[in-house]
Amino acid sequence: MCADDGFAIYPHVFEPTEMLRALTVLSSEVIERSKAGARRILGVPTVRQLANDPRLMAIVNDFVGPTAVPFRATLFDKSATANWLVVWHQDTALPLRERFDDREWGPWSVKGGVIHAHAPAWALEQVIALRVSLDDSTRTNGPLRVLPGSHRHGVFSDQQVAQLASATTPVDCTAASGGVVAMRPLTVHASSKSTDDRPRRVLHIEYASTVRLASHVELSVG
């Protein structure tokens, strides 16, 4: 798929053996985990090394330019014991260094000790997420699903998301271990529950064209 669709699938970016090594390290690292995975793990050396790998940075460059930096990493671990449904939505909340007074931003919240705010479209357009498949992502183990082109129209209300989902044919973003799915945060997306017992572990890394999106807006890195 082309970048203009709001997502793209890149097969065989990494060798499966590289993904196995990453899984081994992640399972042994002292990180705070839930059944569903782990958040704010960019500080884990293996994760930071992957995030800055030239193969990923080449993909990021196509979306947000050559100055891009990773600012957030999340491990999603969907399995038979941690199986969930994600409804259609956009990713509009960004982690920030500090709160500021700007009517374009908000509502505000604090998650895991980090300030977050729902961001305007101009800020989200400077962000791209890369989802590195640590396991095979298949049609039956709850893959990412997207509505192509939905990123072009800004931030939607919940009602607008529902209307778009009912009128658009979704695409399942499947990729074998070592494949990468790129997705713009404004792309409407979802995932269904897994219907088999194979795990779907994904390293979700977010990049921005710069950590300082505006003179008063700086992303929190983690």
**Digit-coded pLDDT (tens) for 168-205:** 999 999 999 999 999 999 999 998 877 787 888 999 99
User: What letter represents residue 171's amino acid?
Assistant: V
pTM of the model: 0.94
pLDDT in tens, 116-128: 999 999 999 999 9
Place of tokens 């671990």: 77
Domains identified in the chain and CATH numbers? 3-211 (2.60.120.620)
Phi first, then psi: give them for residue 171, nearest 5 degrees. Answer: -120, 130
State how far the Cα of 12 lies from the Cα of 27, in Å rounded to an integer: 23
- Ramachandran sector of residue 142 (left: φ over 0; alpha: ψ -120 to 50; beta: rest): left
User: What letter represents residue 152's amino acid?
Assistant: R
**pLDDT of residue 154 exceeding 50:** yes
Phi first, then psi: give them for residue 202, nearest 5 degrees. Answer: -130, 135
Q: Which has more pLDDT, 107 or 38?
A: 107
